[in-house]
Amino acid sequence: MSQPNWVVLEATPHSDYTLDLVFADAPYDLQGSETVVPLVLDGNLLREGGIFIFEHSDDKNFSDHPYFWQSRNYGSVHFSFFKKD
């Protein structure tokens, strides 16, 4: 069994570069997939003013997160948008 992709994020919290846009399309039923959100937003991966988009099922709600910006729903697919100001 392969390791989850977010292991890369955990291993590089202090990167020498930052990104303008990060998109995470985690499998809906993958337990713990929501842990990607703090890994991206609390680390140095996303630059100030950058946008993070997290695709998820409707059972997850990030509207209380301090960087939450907006959400979009397309059928059963949900996208939470975060903006790091």
> What is the residue range of 26's domain?
7-83
In a domain, 2, yes or no: no
Domain count, the chain: 1
Report yes or no on whether pTM surpasses 0.85: no
Q: What CATH number is given to the structural domain containing 76? A: 3.40.50.150
Summarised one tens digit per residue, pLDDT across range 8-43 is 555 455 567 788 999 988 776 678 888 889 988 987
In a domain, 68, yes or no: yes
| 85, 51 Cβ separation under 8 angstroms | no
Summarised one tens digit per residue, pLDDT across range 56-78 is 988 889 999 999 999 999 988 89
In a domain, 1, yes or no: no
